[in-house]
Amino acid sequence: MNLDPRLLDVVVCPACRSSLAADEAASELVCAGCGRAYPVRDDIPVLLVDEARTPS
């Protein structure tokens, strides 16, 4: 996963508006608030709530 670090400064979770952190091992962006994990495909974050993995 090759995301520009400045991107994480401006992108927020579409569900709760909390900040997102990169999980390099899983190729996901994980929300600090609600815990949803958004996939990153071909270095493009997919910030769709329906595509997010919810915490169990």
pLDDT in tens, the chain (56 residues): 888 889 889 999 999 999 999 999 999 999 999 999 999 999 999 999 999 999 87
Phi, psi of 50 (to 5 degrees): -65, -20
Write down the pLDDT at residue 55: 86
**What's the confidence (pLDDT) of residue 5?**
87
The correct answer on CATH 3.40.50.300 for the domain covering 5-51 is: no
- Going 11 to 38 to 43 to 1, the CA torsion angle's sign is positive
Q: State how far the Cα of 7 lies from the Cα of 30, in Å rounded to an integer.
A: 14
In this prediction, residue 22 carries a pLDDT of 94
The pLDDT assigned to 11 comes to: 95
Domain boundaries, the chain: 5-51
Instruction: Note the pTM of the prediction, 2 decimals.
Output: 0.90
| DSSP conformation letters of 1-56 | ----HHHHHH-B-TTT--BEEEETTTTEEEESSS--EEEEETTEE---GGGSBPP-
